[in-house]
Structure 1
Amino acid sequence: MNVELFIPCFIDQLYVETAKNTVKILEKAGCKVIYNPEQTCCGQPAYNAGYWDKAKQVGNKFLNDFSDQHYIVSPSASCTGMVKNSYNDLFFNTAIHNKCRSIQNNIHELSDFLINVLKKDYFGAELEGVAVYHDSCSALRECKIKEEPRRLLEKVHGLELVEMKDQEVCCGFGGTFSVKFEGISAAMAEQKVQNALNAGAEFIISTDVSCLMQLQGYIYAHQIPLKTMHIADVLTSGWIEEPIL
C-alpha cells in the first residue's frame, strides 16, 4: 500500500525523531511511504487566528502537495482534524471542492490509520513503566479517536496503561490560547500533570506533540519526574536496530 506522509510544522521543526519513527511504523506495517519535501503547513495557525484568507492560501498549497489517490497519514490529530473539518469552511463549493473532499476522506491520524485501516495493533514495542494517555481535544472531538491509541498502547510490553482524573479535559495549549491567556493555560497544564502524578504515571502519552510540548514545558519548569512521549515514539521503543553494513 502506498501511503503519503504529512509531517506538521511542530514535528518538522522540534520533533524530528517522531517523524522518523512514524515512517518506521508505517514501513513495519507493510506500507510504502511517500514523502513530498515541498509540503509545509495545513493552515491551522492562520485559521484559528481568524485569518481565513491566509489559511486558504496555505490550505490550497496543501491540497496541491498531496494526491487524492492515496491514504495520507499524519502523526498529528490536530492537523488531521484541521483538514478533515475546517477545510469545509475554506473550500466548500470552490473549484477544488472535489479534490478537497477526496483528501478529507483519505487523511488519517496515525493510530486511527493503524487500527481502522490496516487493522494492526501490535508492533513489538517495549517500554517499562506506568503511563497515562492524554486525549487531545483534536483527537477526541475532531477526529473521534479514543480507543485506537489505547489499543496500541495496551500491546506495548512492560507498559501499564492507567486512566487519570478528568481524562478528557484540555491540557491548556490551544495554539494561541496559551499565549493570549498564559495564566489560565499554565493552570490547566498544572492540573493535567498533577492528575497524571496522582495516577502513579511515569509517562504522559498523546497523539499530539503540541499538547506534549505544553505539558513538558510545565514539567521542566517544576522539575517533575514525568516524561512526555508521542505515541509513534512509544510504538518504536525497544526495537533492535539492524546494523548498517
Structure 2
Amino acid sequence: MKIGLFIPCFIDAFFPEVGIATLQLLERFDLDVVYPPDQTCCGQPLANSGFETDASGAEALFVRNFGGFDYIVGPSGSCVHHIRHHLTAVEQTEVVSDIRARTYELVEFLHDILKVDAFPWARFPHKVGLHNSCGTLRGLGHARASELREPPFSKPESLLCKVEGLELVAASRPDECCGFGGLFSVVNESVSAKMGSDKVRDFAQAKADYIVSADSSCLMHQRGCAERDNVAIKFIHIAQILNGAAA
C-alpha cells in the first residue's frame, strides 16, 4: 500500500515532531510512505476566509503532489476536511475526485482502513483528556456529537484505549469548541481566548495530565491559554502517543 504523507504547513513550521511521529507510526505497519517534498499549504486558510478562488494555486499543487497514491494521510483533521469536502477551487476532474476520496486523517485511517487493534510499542501512564476539534467531530465523524441521538462511539478513544497505562478522563463539556477556529481566533480574539481558557480549565478540573487531539492547531491555541492562565497541563498530538512517545 503506497501512502502519500500530507503534512500541513503549520505542522511543518511549528510542530515538526508531529509530522515525524506520523511518518514513523505509519511505517510501523509496513506501509510504503512517501513525502512529496514540494507540498505547501492545502489552501484551507484562503477558502475559510471567503477567498475560495484564490486557493486554486495551492489546491492545484496539492493535486499534482498527491496523484497516484493508494491513500493520502495527514495528521490534521481540519486540513483533511478541507481536501475532502472543500477542494473546489480547481476543476473537478476524475483525478481530483479520486484524491478527495482517498485523503484520510490519521485517526480515521488507522481506525477505518488499517483497523489497528494494538500498539504494543506504546505506553503512556498518564491521565489524558481528549479534545475532538469541531472539524474532526462534525466534519469527519471522529465521534458522535452529543447533540445527536445516536449510539455513542469515538474513533480516537478506541485507539487511545489500546495504549498501555493511559487513562482517559472526560471534560464536563466534551464537545465544546476551544475557540481556535482558524481566523476566528484572530478576528474575535477576546471571545476565542475566553473559550480556550474555559476548555483548558474544564480538562484541568477533570484532573487531566495531558490534553490530546488530532489537531495541532487546537492544541496550540489551548497551550497558549494554559500558559497565560498558569494552568499546569501538558499537550500532545495523538500521533505521538500512538507512536510510543515517552512522557
| TM-score using structure 2 length | 0.92
Kindly provide the amino acid, as one letter, of the partner of residue 116 in structure 1.
D
Deviation, 1:32, is: 1.2
The match for 1:118 is 114
- Which structure 2 residue ranges, 5 or more long, are not aligned? 144-153
8 A Cα contact 1:171 1:185, kept in partner: yes
CA 1:10–1:121: 2 relative to 1, 3 Å: farther
Deviation, 1:117, is: 0.4
The match for 1:144 is 141
The superposition leaves residues 142-196 of structure 1 with CA deviations (integer Å, 9 ceiling, x where unpaired) of: 1111211111111111110122111111110011110110110001001111110
Instruction: State yes or no: 1:53 paired with 2:63.
Output: no
Instruction: State yes or no: 1:106 paired with 2:102.
Output: yes
Aligned-partner SS, 2:125: strand
Deviation, 1:64, is: 1.1
Q: 1:200 aligns with which of 175, 200, 207?
A: 207
8 A Cα contact 1:129 1:158, kept in partner: yes
8 A Cα contact 1:114 1:121, kept in partner: no
Instruction: State yes or no: 1:128 paired with 2:135.
Output: no
Number of equivalenced pairs: 235
For residues 99 and 186 of structure 1, what CA distance do their matches in structure 2 show?
41
User: Which aligned segments of 4 or more residues in structure 1 are displaced greater than 3 angstroms?
Assistant: none
Aligned-partner SS, 1:229: strand
For residues 123 and 30 of structure 1, what CA distance do their matches in structure 2 show?
14
Instruction: State yes or no: 1:25 paired with 2:36.
Output: no
The match for 1:229 is 236
The match for 1:37 is 37
The match for 2:89 is 90
Deviation, 1:61, is: 1.2
Kindly provide the amino acid, as one letter, of the partner of residue 62 in structure 2.
F
Deviation, 1:68, is: 4.1
Q: Percent of aligned pairs with the same residue? A: 38
Deviation, 1:223, is: 2.2
For residues 28 and 69 of structure 1, what CA distance do their matches in structure 2 show?
18
The superposition leaves residues 72-94 of structure 1 with CA deviations (integer Å, 9 ceiling, x where unpaired) of: 0000011000011112x434xx3
The match for 2:14 is 14
The superposition leaves residues 125-152 of structure 1 with CA deviations (integer Å, 9 ceiling, x where unpaired) of: 1111111100101101111112111111
The match for 2:66 is 66
Aligned-partner SS, 1:72: strand
For residues 186 and 162 of structure 2, what CA distance do their matches in structure 1 show?
37
Deviation, 1:97, is: 2.3
The match for 1:243 is none
For residues 158 and 36 of structure 2, what CA distance do their matches in structure 1 show?
30
Aligned-partner SS, 1:90: coil
For residues 132 and 121 of structure 1, what CA distance do their matches in structure 2 show?
21
| TM-score using structure 1 length | 0.92
Instruction: State yes or no: 1:157 paired with 2:164.
Output: yes
Aligned-partner SS, 1:190: helix
For residues 69 and 127 of structure 1, what CA distance do their matches in structure 2 show?
33
Deviation, 1:2, is: 1.2
8 A Cα contact 1:178 1:185, kept in partner: yes
8 A Cα contact 1:29 1:120, kept in partner: no
Kindly provide the amino acid, as one letter, of the partner of residue 158 in structure 1.
G
Aligned-partner SS, 1:127: coil
The match for 1:176 is 183
Kindly provide the amino acid, as one letter, of the partner of residue 175 in structure 1.
G
- Which structure 1 residue ranges, 5 or more long, are not aligned? 240-245
8 A Cα contact 1:68 1:102, kept in partner: no
